[in-house]
Amino acid sequence: MCPEGGELIVSHAHLLAVLDVLSFRRNSSGWPLVGIWANHTKAEREAIGQLGPPPECIARKQAVKLESWEALERGTLHDRGTVWPLDFKSLDGMELVDIHLSAKSLMLDFKKCVLDVRVPGLSQRTFKIIMALEFPDYVLALLTKDLLAKPAWSKQHPAFPPDVFPGFETDLDNLPIPHEWWQLLAERVHIVLKKGPAKCTALAICAFRTTYAKYFPGLGLSPSLTVGEVVGDPSRFARFVEAYYVFMFRAKRD
């Protein structure tokens, strides 16, 4: 599996684990969307600077909360989408009610519309935050290190296919991963969210009941990493889950 595909799958699994801990799936009313944030690109900052001194947060390359009239675009030169849903003047009535995974993207169902976020596979510039979705109690940030990403809003709800990678609502007995490990993983995420990464100093390889197989060093995961350093870093967490899945899958197959 290509690295991009692997990280997409484990990002989806990570997101499901975190939302499950936060009782998202037990909240039938969904999460109201109260704000959309994004980092301005270099070209956007320069365009603002031509009109006068830019706000301090933009000058310092920090994410800012967008207004409905700010049509920031992301994506490639010929395939772009807007960060703000242009068909809506406000976010009233928009609630995150479900998350789906397609072969190439994450799809967030906001009841009134669907947000499809995918990676075109072109490395061009560094983004801190593609976009961040603000809810009353939490913020869901969509990050990328050096790949471009395209957000696409649509009022039309597609027929969602079965998730490429099953989540917590699936019969886990049919998977090569024991259900107990997923429960342990969710508990560790909850501990890190509660205490903070700096206070979770147990070694991750031991805490997650894994052995240091050949798959872990190949993905840049040191045996000295702590639980906080793994769970608190999206890239490390993604690689950790993928390495464990590969290990269990091959163990069952062989």
Amino acid at 180: E
* pLDDT, tens only, 215-231: 566 666 777 778 888 88
What is the average pLDDT score of the chain? 70
- pLDDT at res. 151: 77
List the one residue out of 188, 193, 191 whose CA is nearest residue 210. Answer: 188
* 96 or 41, higher pLDDT: 96
- pLDDT at res. 253: 53
* pTM of the predicted protein model: 0.54
Q: 107 is written with which tokens? A: 């799809």
Percentage of the chain lying above the pLDDT 90 cut = 0
Spatial contact of 108 and 117, defined as CB atoms under 8 Å apart: yes
List the helix and strand counts (H, then E) for the chain. Answer: 8, 12
- pLDDT at res. 168: 38
List the one residue out of 113, 131, 135 whose CA is nearest residue 32. Answer: 135
* 31 or 117, higher pLDDT: 31
- pLDDT at res. 172: 39
- pLDDT at res. 130: 73
* pLDDT, tens only, 87-146: 788 888 888 888 876 666 778 888 888 888 776 655 555 555 678 888 888 888 776 655
Least trusted range by pLDDT, from 13-22, 53-62, 103-112, 131-140: 13-22
